[in-house]
Amino acid sequence: MSSWATRSLAVAGLLLSVLPGSAHSQVVGEVAATDASIKGSVVLVGGRTRLLNGSSLTAGESTAAIQLTRGGGSLNVCPHTGVSVTASQSGTDLMIAMNNGAIETRYTLSSSADTIMTPDFRILLPGPGSFHFAIAADARGNTCIRPLEGNTASLVVSEVMGTGVYHLGPTDQVLFREGRVSSRDPLVPPDCGCGPPPTPIRHAQQPAAPAKPAQGNVEQPAPAPSNVPAKIEFPEGSAEATIAEFGRQVQRASPRQPANGDLHVEVDAPLIFNAGVENPGPGPLIARVRLTPLPPMMFDGLDALPPKEVGSPRPEPAAASTASGTKEKKRGFLRRIGAFFAGIFK
């Protein structure tokens, strides 16, 4: 406990010494059984500890809540924080002296006023209003004040060892550095008080169920699109029918499920052939080709030559009549060959 906190507790004890005897036995609040340590006059009733005027309480590892008997409400003492609570003779006003640590006020005042003493500041809580504040102080003189949910009141902060005064609104928060009002900062750490503010819980909302149509006006759902391509019939013997039949044969030959279990993607792409379009492709026209039927080739006038015998004498030339017949046969064959090539390049 700091020296100023010790002096504050000593001043509170001195004030109690001059108060009437009834003030010493006045109950300021009740504390449930916790790990807090209490010094001073107490009364044990049904597992709860009643704090008498001038008693001091030091919280342990958990927050100790003091339920105030004056008008309800509570004073939360954060872990490892020591406070001393002193009530006025009428019991309507409280003076709360704290050392280095943090407290939270959660009560309402009508026409009275409370005072909170820290090692460096005197904080006045003038009624009426709901005083929901978190106040924390450390050994270096840094003191923060943060309003809590439901606060509607204002505070007046003044220096103990100086003349600085600061008015704090219901929604204002401030951090005083090194015990000076002039060294203030609006950025307050989130752990100012007994802990960071709780995170609001957001509940997921279920989507609204679709409205059912009225009887007698039931709409049939649209049929699901089929991924099976429509079957197109082509004239038998046409080029389109031949290409389509070739595609069906390739599709029947391809396996539906691979043996190794890998997933393959099958894509059906239409193959369109139009014989009436001269230039189906995007490229330039290079040549035009016209197909005509070939003339029949007659090979019935050709006689196979007998195989040559090894060592046989060279045959003598035949008679004139035989030579003329052979020439006629050769000229007939040449004419057929010429007609064949003439038909190609016509």
Q: Per the domain annotation, does 276 fall within a domain? A: no
Q: Has residue 37 been placed in a domain?
A: yes
Q: Let me know if 311 is exposed, middle or buried by CB neighbors in 10 A (0-12, 13-18, 19+).
A: exposed
Per-residue pLDDT, 111:
87
**Per-position pLDDT tens, the chain of length 346:** 444 444 444 444 434 433 444 455 789 999 986 789 999 888 887 778 899 999 999 999 999 999 999 988 999 999 999 999 999 988 889 999 999 999 999 999 998 999 999 999 999 999 999 999 999 999 999 999 999 999 999 999 999 999 999 999 999 999 999 999 999 999 999 889 997 554 545 555 555 566 555 555 555 555 555 555 555 665 666 666 666 676 676 566 555 555 555 544 455 555 565 666 555 555 555 656 566 666 665 555 555 556 655 555 555 555 555 555 555 555 666 777 777 777 776 5
CATH number of domain containing 102: 2.60.120.1440
For 47, the domain range is 3-185
Q: Which residues of 180-204 are buried (b: 16+ CB within 10 A; e: fewer)?
A: bbeebeeebeeebbbeeeeeeeeee
Q: Please report, to the nearest 10 degrees, the dihedral formed by the alpha carbons of residues 133, 125, 67, 99 taken in order.
A: 70
Burial class (CB in 10 A: 0-12, 13-18, 19+), 251: exposed
- Helical (H) or strand (E) element with 24: helix 21-24
Contact 170, 149 (CB under 8 A): no
- Tell whether 203 is covered by a domain: no
Q: Are 55 and 41 in contact (CB under 8 A)?
A: yes
- Output the six-digit token pair for 178: 């090194």
Q: How far apart are CA 275 and CA 291, in angstroms?
A: 13
Residue 308 lies in a domain: no
Give the angle subtended at the CA of 190 by the CAs of 184 and 193, to the nearest 5°. Answer: 85
Residue pair 255/263 in contact (Cβ under 8 Å)? The answer is no
Tokens of 22: 């009834």
The residue type found at 331 is R
pLDDT of residue 7: 46
**143 in any annotated domain:** yes
DSSP string, 94-112: EEEEE-SEEEEEEEEESS-
Q: Is 325 within the bounds of a domain? A: no
DSSP 216: T
Domain count, the chain: 1
How far, in Å, CA of 342 to CA of 336, rounded? 10
Please report whether residue 246 resides in a domain: no
In this structure, the number of other CB atoms found within 10 A of the CB of residue 70 comes to: 20
CB 251 within 8 A of CB 266: no
